[in-house]
Amino acid sequence: MAVKEYDLIVVGAGTAGIIAAARIAEAGINPTTGDKLRIGLIDAGAQLFEGERRAGYGHPNRRRLMPQISWEEFEMIDSFSWGFGPKMVGGSSVWWGGHAVLPVDLDYENWSSEMGIDWTRENMKEAVDDVVEMYHFHAAPEEAWSKGDKLFRSAAIDMGYDAKGMPSPRKNCIFCGFIGSGHGCKYDAKGTSLWYLPIAEANGVELIDKAEVEQVIIEKRGAGGFVKGVYYRKDGQIQEARAEKIVMSCGYAGTPVVLAKSGYGPRDELGSQLIVENNNVGRNLDGDTTYRIGVVFDEAIKEAGRGTTGSMYFLDEDPDYQDGSGVLKIWSTDLDKITYPHTAALSEFAPAFGHAHMDFMRTAISRLGTIGVSVNRPPTHIKGRLNLQTGARTYPGDPYIDRRMNEAREIALELAKRIGSQEISPRFPATFRGRGGGHTNGTCRAGSDRRNSVINQNFESHEVEGLFVVDAGSYPRAGIYSGFYAALMGAFGARRIVANNFSRGA
């Protein structure tokens, strides 16, 4: 089997990986010869959207890629059960809800002050602008707001909160009021990193799909090491690709799992498999804690042909913390768009069976709603960790999160009453052990000190030369939602990697 040779291999063509590959290919050169770079972009999942991708027009496969049957059709059942985001080219961006709040001053301050890295607003501005422009982030126009959105907003303002529309990535969106998180937009009006793929392709990036990287080849040198390439499984066979630079972008769980298999990680977990030690691989898992409180109304609060999906939201800060810890987010999820019928049929408000169920279902999709509550940026000392074999996350219970979630519940209940909900879900967990709901980060976090981080401010491993991480695992502290931040890491990481490795004089 011929071994492929590249200047750079990007592992994971998901949210951050595609952006990193595209921007490095566009701006990077071989520092010695000045030639364009040979870049391989390897993803475990399939490329289902070949050919022209037009936002608002979609792709024939996109319209089929919804129910389980189409996963069978595309022979992607393994991908469907992928524990931490879909295994496909485009990654979680193909599937995400598109709710996004851009980094705020506190994020930049925390990244600099807690971790000693120069990720300032000024230094990251170009990358932020890149993602905002390419994904086309903006709040939905007022004409698209549902009645539920308007009711939520005015009740929140009455309660003294600054409620506003959440930015969401849209191009040519018809605001049909049907598309929710996890179901994708059949016309690709909802932004994905696939919009960067033509830039990668035009600059010669070779995409290798359905190729799961098993291992990064790391050779030991002193206390550290350097990379030589990767082994990946394609068509049932192990193949090798070589490069002196490897950018990992398999997601907050996928990257630590591959690094551990490669012998890079905590000594106590890797044992005799250890090649290079770093005790933070797979640790420092951060994220938000989320729950949805069901509400139901006598009258329709949403209609077909209108709806935002970005929803309305407001924040409630914890007066005990001056650094932005413990911020609550309350948002009008599912007051902003029609409820899917299969969700309505299983709703906690739905009668069990018979005519009562049928009567309920006549109008349920326009009367049901949920109010989302979450705790973001919990205090910094409380972190979870990954199982480095499976990628499963464990997170210690935390009375602080329980207290804040219960405060969030009280705010949401008061809001629901003011909006005029006839019934409010009685279910609410007493304790919240899980954390992250897809909005996870930190497992290969950046920092100036190798004792509490994996990569430096230039996204390169502290110990393994030529190894970079740019996915959601790379940023140290949870912002409000992770999707924008993951894309930002791809865009910012690419710029740093080019400046330090792939430009004249680098």
Ligand X SMILES: Cc1cc2nc3c(=O)[nH]c(=O)nc-3n(C[C@H](O)[C@H](O)[C@H](O)COP(=O)(O)OP(=O)(O)OC[C@H]3O[C@@H](n4cnc5c(N)ncnc54)[C@H](O)[C@@H]3O)c2cc1C
Residues that bind ligand X in the complex, under the rule CB under 6 A: 11-17, 42-45, 85, 87-88, 91-93, 95-100, 181-182, 212-213, 249-252, 254, 258, 438-439, 471-472, 481-484, 486
Cβ closest to ligand X, residue 149 vs residue 471? 471
Cβ closest to ligand X, residue 249 vs residue 278? 249
Shortest Cβ 44–ligand X spacing (Å): 4
Shortest Cβ 379–ligand X spacing (Å): 21
Shortest Cβ 24–ligand X spacing (Å): 15
Shortest Cβ 361–ligand X spacing (Å): 25
Cβ closest to ligand X, residue 212 vs residue 316? 212
Which helix (H) or strand (E) segment holds residue 123: the answer is helix 121-135
Shortest Cβ 389–ligand X spacing (Å): 13
Beta strands in 17-118 (DSSP E): 39-42
DSSP assignments along 271-315, one per residue: GGG-SEE-TTTT--BEE-EEEEEEEE-SS----TT---SS-EEEE
Q: To which residue do tokens 């009455």 refer?
A: 158
Cβ closest to ligand X, residue 7 vs residue 471? 471
Shortest Cβ 88–ligand X spacing (Å): 6
The beta-carbon contacts of 391-396 under 8 Å, at least 24 apart in sequence, are: 391/83, 391/84, 391/253, 391/254, 391/256, 391/257, 392/83, 393/253, 393/285, 393/435, 393/436, 393/440, 395/285, 395/433, 395/434, 395/435, 395/436, 396/433
Q: What are the CA-CA distances from residue 381 to residues 104, 132, 227, 290 (Å)? A: 21, 31, 32, 19
Cβ closest to ligand X, residue 146 vs residue 440? 440
In the complex, which residue's CB is closest to ligand X?
14
Cβ closest to ligand X, residue 264 vs residue 360? 264
Dihedral angle computed from the Cα positions of residues 287, 289, 292 and 293, in that order, rounded to the nearest 10 degrees: -150
Q: CB 158: neighbour CB atoms within 10 A?
A: 12
Quote the CA–CA distance of 141 and 96 in Å, as a whole number: 21
Shortest Cβ 474–ligand X spacing (Å): 8
415, 156 in Cβ contact below 8 A?
Answer: yes
Cβ closest to ligand X, residue 182 vs residue 341? 182
Shortest Cβ 91–ligand X spacing (Å): 3
How far from the centroid of its chain's Cα atoms is residue 217's Cα? 27
Shortest Cβ 230–ligand X spacing (Å): 8
Shortest Cβ 181–ligand X spacing (Å): 5
Exposure of 321 in the CB half-sphere (CA atoms within 13 A): 18
Cβ closest to ligand X, residue 58 vs residue 167? 167
DSSP assignments along 350-377, one per residue: S-SSHHHHHHHHHHHHHHEEEEEEEEES
Cβ closest to ligand X, residue 20 vs residue 424? 20
Cβ closest to ligand X, residue 40 vs residue 369? 40
Cβ closest to ligand X, residue 224 vs residue 287? 287
Cβ closest to ligand X, residue 16 vs residue 344? 16
How far from the centroid of its chain's Cα atoms is residue 223's Cα? 33
What region does 188 belong to: left with phi over 0, alpha with psi -120 to 50, or beta? left
Q: What are the CA-CA distances from residue 46 to residues 61, 234, 384, 492 (Å)? A: 12, 11, 31, 26
419, 302 in Cβ contact below 8 A?
Answer: no
How far from the centroid of its chain's Cα atoms is residue 269's Cα? 27
Burial of 141 (0-12, 13-18, 19+ CB in 10 A): exposed
Shortest Cβ 112–ligand X spacing (Å): 22
Shortest Cβ 480–ligand X spacing (Å): 8
